[in-house]
Amino acid sequence: MTERMSAGSRPDDAAGHVIPFPARAEPPQIAFNRDELRTIFNLYGRQVAAGEWRDYAMDFRRDKAVFSIYRRSSEMPLYRIEKDPKLARRQGAYAVIAASGLVMKRGTELARVLAVLEPPPRAV
């Protein structure tokens, strides 16, 4: 009593398929989330309205995300706002870096780090 099996139901049918070796998982690309971008763009908008800043660029890499601020698009960035999760436990994931490479402020809370870029209040 042998039954004929259809081609799709043979037990050794899976042996004919090649299963690729799993590749090493690439680390996810680092980016600013929506709340972080809202905080950055609020500051950026105020500075553009004041005539201080005119252009920006965003760069998302495997190790960090960078928001660069320009006075003119043909120049070097005035400031870079960086998010580097590798430094989150040690120094803080966020940093504001001046054009000279000087780290102006570093910390774990983006709003506090960006406070260094806020102009001081003026008497009216």
The C-alpha atoms of residue 9 and residue 5 are separated, in whole angstroms, by 6
Question: What pLDDT does residue 49 have?
Answer: 94
Among residues 57, 108, 67, 101, which one has the least CA distance to residue 85?
A: 108
With a CB cutoff of 8 Å and minimum separation 6, the contacts of 89 are none
Question: What pLDDT does residue 53 have?
Answer: 92
Per-residue pLDDT of the chain (124 residues; tens, 9 = 90+): 555 555 555 555 556 677 777 777 776 788 999 999 999 999 999 999 999 999 999 999 999 999 999 988 777 899 999 999 998 888 889 999 999 999 999 999 999 999 999 888 788 7
The C-alpha atoms of residue 110 and residue 116 are separated, in whole angstroms, by 11
The shares of helix, strand and coil residues in the chain, as percent rounded to the nearest 5, are: 30, 20, 50
Among residues 86, 96, 93, 78, which one has the least CA distance to residue 40?
A: 96
Would you list the DSSP string of 58-113? EEE-SS-EEEEEESSTTS--SEEEEE-GGGTTTT-SEEEEETTS-EEEEES-HHHH
Question: What pLDDT does residue 7 have?
Answer: 55
Four-CA torsion 62, 38, 44, 84, nearest 10 degrees: -30
pTM: 0.74
Q: What is the pLDDT of residues 8-30, one digit of tens each?
A: 555 555 566 777 777 777 767 88
Question: What pLDDT does residue 24 have?
Answer: 73
Question: What pLDDT does residue 114 have?
Answer: 95
